[in-house]
Structure 1
Amino acid sequence: MIGLRLLAVLMLVAINGFFAAAEFSLVAVRASRVRQLMEGGDPRARIVHELLGQLDRVVSGVQVGITLTSLAIGALGEPVFAQLFRPLFDWLPGSRAVLLAHGFAIILAFAFLTLLHVVFGELVPKTISLERAGRASLLVARPFYWYLTTFRWAVVLLEGLSRKVVRALGVTGLAAGHTIPHSAEELQVQIRQAGEHGLLGPGEERLILGALELRQLRVRDIMIPRPDVHALPVESGFEETLALFAKTQRSRLPVYESTLDHVLGFVHVKDLLAVLSDRERRSEQGTPPPRPLQSSSQNFDLRRFLRELLIVPESKLAGELLIEMRARRNSLAMVVDEFGSILGLVTLEDVLEQMVGEIHDEFDVVQAPQIVGSGPEMAMVFDGAVGLRDLETQYEIKLPEDPAYATLGGFVLTHLGFIPRGGESFDFAGYRFTVLEMERRRVARIKLQRLIAAAPARAIRHPASAG
């Protein structure tokens, strides 16, 4: 008799493990993997696909099954194991020996039953199901579907009662479906973990993370600052315009009237090449070009070639700018502050580089930092216009973000709190920052030297600027 009861307890533990495996395997299995198995003709995959379409009911059914089997394990298992362990305490002396032996046997039976239930009825099947969700879901699909169909009335009844209790407590707006949407931060963690386990290549990981970061990145963080923007006055002549295109190796240049704050649009080099080709053809034929296309500044009118230029606020999200550029088929935008003053320029390439890294064509000059010194004295010299994101992604130098600046030069100015003359330095985040060169009030070149021991941030003013 005890043997049959013991066998029944072990079967109940196995059934509890089955329910635990069913829940975790069905929740963890990838829908894409299930579709792949369905296309391969596996009939069990179709059952899994049907169960995935009703995960709420699956989870409710699992809870009903686990609860009933757990109660049955306790009710049937405690007297069985207490009877098995009772002979171990028959040696207790005294008139209360029988009572003590029974009490100790119950305690030991409860501990052993808990261990058996938790390890073999919960943890082991859950762990295996998470590690091999695809295979486990196929194994449990048929029996669990039969169970869910047979006891649907009980599951539906309990679901209805639970909803009424929840509504009576005043809780509303429960999310439909068992799956909880992941936030962007959670997705980033999962993508990094996938990269660490080799499920994603370095390029794929960077691309996906970059796409997610576009929703947090502001245009001011990726723009070309105003001092570095090349633009054409609207009164520029033909040769002058071509010369600036040749010098900058750009295909598009903004055009302004009087000052850059009064930007009119942009001109594309392809439009000028058509003019140049027409000039050469007419020159070969000995025919003078039409007056608007003559090369003199008095007759060449740059306004004829102007194209629409996007004007965006500095606070605009990079992801939104990408969508707008695609919709309006425009890859150039000027960035303005709250007062309408031009702060800089941003291109489609600048946005895409946040996802895929630096994009260099055959005309780009890659400006790597200059390395000076060697050993402990080794340092890197950066241009002040280098972006903080580039420092972090390319050189693993992370500096605090602030709306007041987006470049290394801006960080230095903000940290110093005054306009340096050159030679000033300060220690921050394990590096010594030294201003090497100024262009008017702009920090042009900065030396970064890693400190052997991170020192607290402090500014060291150049003797020439003291006073």
Structure 2
Amino acid sequence: MSPALYVSLSLLLSALFSGLEIAFITADRFFVEVEQKKGSFAFKIISFLNKNQAMLLAALLIGNNLCLVLYGLFIPDFLNPFLPGVANEYALLAVQSVISTIIILIFAEYLPKSIFQSMPHAMLGRFAVFAWLSYVFLWPFTWLLVRFSNGILRVIFRKKASGRQEQLVFTRHDLTQFFKDKYQNSSLDARGEHEIEIFKNALEMETRRLREFIVPRTEIVALPVTARIEDLKKLFEESNLSKILIYRENIDNLLGYVHVYDLINSPLDITSILRPLRYVPESMTASEVLRLMTRENRSILAVYDEFGTTSGIVTIEDVVEELFGEIEDEHDTEPDNNQEIKEDGNDLIVSGRVEINKLNELYQLKLPEDENYSTVSGLIFHHIERIPENNEEIEIHGTKCRIECVEHTRIQKVRLLNVLSE
């Protein structure tokens, strides 16, 4: 066989070993398991190799190095006919080393790893049998290498290496990435898209903090404990809520809440029908809050910040809406959540509670986002550092706003001027 054939074969095999190595590392394990459950022969092989990934990667490493040794043996004979003008032995060796290194880096490292990393599942499906054969035929050398490496690790770190493979565990990232890759280019009906959205929301509930979706302090509807029952009845009628918070002196001293059904027995005062209210930190996650509410049979919680002051409240409906989206009930005054955003010519009239990222996404706006606020009212308070007045116009990062309605310390409606113009 000619040197050219040996060089080509060694480069091809080295490229396969390098590509498979990066493909196994970057592949979505959940996708692999789903495909093998569906009966794919190739992914049954990949699933088996994934469960023995340490041995597999060692086998690929050994195979790649054997190919590079073969390449190094024949590349001088292959290059010599192309370098007739280099007479000096050391100069010839230097030129051959540079050229052979460049060839290796391009054709056996960069290109295959880029290709396999960009489409790991397709490449693994195509070369599954090759990976399995490499694993089987190189197993004796792999076993010796792993045993020798574990022995060195035991000597250096004084720690016994486990001979068992780690159990295949799927993380939240694996599941999220699977649905992103599987369905981002798929045509799903409205129901299918909604089900995928629910699944993604369920995964995010483990990381979504309570502070991101509470009813803020400025929007809490409450009465002092000294208020009359008539005042309580009137507030229930005006607010259309089922629960009213009760405080002593100020909102930082919430005593509990009253349910509208408690008025059926014609109580004499508020304290006789007061229900206990539990405080939780705003750093809790949505899943933790849901488990707490379910375990203790609670429907409303008060939320405190890092300074111990009341930052807001959260209801079971707020938490469930994080999972299923907007839920309408008999107490919702707006049947359509989209009424929080209204187009008026080139202007947008929005509720102060509308989230900044929602506006930016829907209308391609460039309103500044910050960890210190998430809503339109929060943006305005953060920018002007005071309570605005009705009909006051302000400009935030090139966007002109007019305050349409302010009630006490709460911004109800804001008009974003000329944001829809071409």
For Structure 1 versus Structure 2, the TM-score category normalised by the shorter chain is 0.7 to 0.9
Corresponding position: 1:99 with 2:99: no
**Which one is further off, 206-215 or 221-230?**
206-215
- Return closer, same or farther for 1:216/1:48 CA change in 2, 3 Å cut-off: closer
Residues 270-311 of structure 1: per-residue CA shift (max 9 Å, x gap): 666xx5xxxxxxxxxxxxxxxxx3x4x54xx65565444222
- Return closer, same or farther for 1:220/1:76 CA change in 2, 3 Å cut-off: closer
* Distance (whole Å) between structure 2 residues aligned to residue 34 and residue 215 of structure 1: 24
Q: 1:248 matched to which residue of 2?
A: 239
Structure 1 residue 33, shift from structure 2 partner: 5.0
- Return closer, same or farther for 1:239/1:33 CA change in 2, 3 Å cut-off: same
Q: 1:130 matched to which residue of 2?
A: 120
Structure 1 residue 60, shift from structure 2 partner: 2.0
Q: 2:399 matched to which residue of 1?
A: 431
- Return closer, same or farther for 1:390/1:319 CA change in 2, 3 Å cut-off: farther
Corresponding position: 1:400 with 2:391: no
User: Which amino acid is the alignment partner of residue 343 of structure 2?
Assistant: I
Corresponding position: 1:50 with 2:48: yes
Residues 80-99 of structure 1: per-residue CA shift (max 9 Å, x gap): x134436xx4xxxxxxx682
CA contact (8 A) 1:25 1:137 kept: no
Q: 2:82 matched to which residue of 1?
A: 85
CA contact (8 A) 1:233 1:258 kept: yes
CA contact (8 A) 1:25 1:133 kept: yes
Structure 1 residue 70, shift from structure 2 partner: 0.4
- TM-score normalized with structure 2 length: 0.73
Q: Which of 340, 344, 348 does residue 368 from structure 1 map onto? A: 340
Structure 2: unaligned runs, 5 residues or longer: none
* Distance (whole Å) between structure 1 residues aligned to residue 12 and residue 176 of structure 2: 37
* Distance (whole Å) between structure 1 residues aligned to residue 239 and residue 256 of structure 2: 18
Secondary structure, aligned partner of 1:360: coil
Q: Which of 115, 122, 135 does residue 145 from structure 1 map onto? A: 135
Q: How does 1:217-228 map to 2 (within 5 A)?
A: 217-228=208-219
User: Which amino acid is the alignment partner of residue 368 of structure 2?
Assistant: L
Structure 1 residue 381, shift from structure 2 partner: 2.5
Secondary structure, aligned partner of 1:409: helix
User: Which amino acid is the alignment partner of residue 85 of structure 1?
Assistant: F
Structure 1 residue 265, shift from structure 2 partner: 2.8
Structure 1 residue 332, shift from structure 2 partner: 0.9
Structure 1 residue 132, shift from structure 2 partner: 0.9
Q: 2:72 matched to which residue of 1?
A: 74
CA contact (8 A) 2:225 2:248 kept: yes
Q: 2:289 matched to which residue of 1?
A: 321
CA contact (8 A) 1:435 1:445 kept: yes
- TM-score normalized with structure 1 length: 0.67
User: Which amino acid is the alignment partner of residue 155 of structure 1?
Assistant: L
Structure 1 residue 69, shift from structure 2 partner: 1.4
* Distance (whole Å) between structure 2 residues aligned to residue 431 and residue 450 of structure 1: 8
* Distance (whole Å) between structure 1 residues aligned to residue 39 and residue 353 of structure 2: 59
* Distance (whole Å) between structure 2 residues aligned to residue 112 and residue 379 of structure 1: 64
Secondary structure, aligned partner of 1:432: strand
User: Which amino acid is the alignment partner of residue 135 of structure 1?
Assistant: G
Q: 1:92 matched to which residue of 2?
A: none
Structure 1: unaligned runs, 5 residues or longer: 90-96, 276-292, 454-467
Q: 2:380 matched to which residue of 1?
A: 412
**Aligned positions, number:** 407
* Distance (whole Å) between structure 2 residues aligned to residue 210 and residue 12 of structure 1: 48
Q: CA RMSD in A?
A: 4.8
Structure 1 residue 151, shift from structure 2 partner: 1.9
CA contact (8 A) 2:218 2:409 kept: no
Q: 2:145 matched to which residue of 1?
A: 155
Structure 1 residue 415, shift from structure 2 partner: 2.0
Sequence identity (%): 24
- Return closer, same or farther for 1:142/1:323 CA change in 2, 3 Å cut-off: same
Corresponding position: 1:115 with 2:103: yes
CA contact (8 A) 1:77 1:113 kept: no
Which one has the largest radius of gyration?
A: 1
Structure 1 residue 263, shift from structure 2 partner: 3.3
CA contact (8 A) 1:222 1:350 kept: yes
CA contact (8 A) 1:30 1:134 kept: no
Q: How does 1:182-193 map to 2 (within 5 A)?
A: none
Structure 1 residue 342, shift from structure 2 partner: 3.7
Secondary structure, aligned partner of 1:99: coil
* Distance (whole Å) between structure 1 residues aligned to residue 57 and residue 63 of structure 2: 10
